[in-house]
Amino acid sequence: MTDAKIELLAKTRDGHRMIADAIDEYLETCAPRGAQDLIPDLSLLVWQRKIGPKGAFEISEDEANPRYRDLQSCLRQHGGKMTVQGFFVWTLPDGKIARKA
């Protein structure tokens, strides 16, 4: 195969990849919001490290943060515990939110 043919094939391949990426981006903007989109980003809450009988975990008492209240609502809908963004998240008996990786 000649260098010109290889270059043409490489440019064609790259062009198709760019088209596919553009289509993917467009489709993502068209997709309906799922339940996962309604769960607040855990990194936007204030967390404090604690040690319990089963090891280390973190708690949040960030009640002034609207995302905290959104997370409390999500937890109520999931029976007080769920997995979010790689963390097991649950409601403590005193109403605080805890997470553990």
Would you call 22 helix, strand, or coil by DSSP?
Answer: helix
Which position has the token pair 């995302």? 67
Together in a domain, 39 and 25: no
Together in a domain, 96 and 59: yes
Per-residue pLDDT of the chain (101 residues; tens, 9 = 90+): 899 999 999 899 988 888 987 887 776 666 555 544 567 889 999 999 999 998 999 999 988 899 999 899 889 988 999 998 889 999 999 989 999 99
CA distance 101 to 99: 7
- Hey, what are 70's tokens? 């959104």
Together in a domain, 61 and 21: no
CA distance 91 to 98: 6
Domain count for the chain: 2
What is the span of the domain harbouring residue 47? 35-100
- Hey, what are 81's tokens? 């515990």
Measured in whole angstroms, how far is the alpha carbon of residue 97 from the centre of its chain?
17
Together in a domain, 58 and 24: no
